[in-house]
Amino acid sequence: MDLNNVDKLTLKAIVKEILLEDSSIFKDIIKEILTENQVITSTEQESRRKKLEKFIDEGFDKYDEVFKALA
């Protein structure tokens, strides 16, 4: 994606709307980025991945109302 050609205010509004609808989408995006960047790579790292997923889930659960208020 070429961010130079994207209207950042429009993109920001879209992301806010998505987060208001369903914050779990953002969690899925984070997990996908980690997989694509090989932070999560193999079954040997399963415990690390599970800890990371738990951390992400707990953070979103704990701050869900804050994320909605900020959006």
Question: In this predicted model, what pLDDT tens digit does every residue of 23-41 receive, in sequence order?
Answer: 788 888 887 888 788 776 6
Rounded to two decimals, what is the model's pTM? Answer: 0.41
41: phi then psi, degrees, rounded to nearest 5: -120, -40
Q: Any idea what the Cα angle at residue 31 is, between residues 35 and 9, rounded to 5°?
A: 115
* pLDDT at res. 35: 76
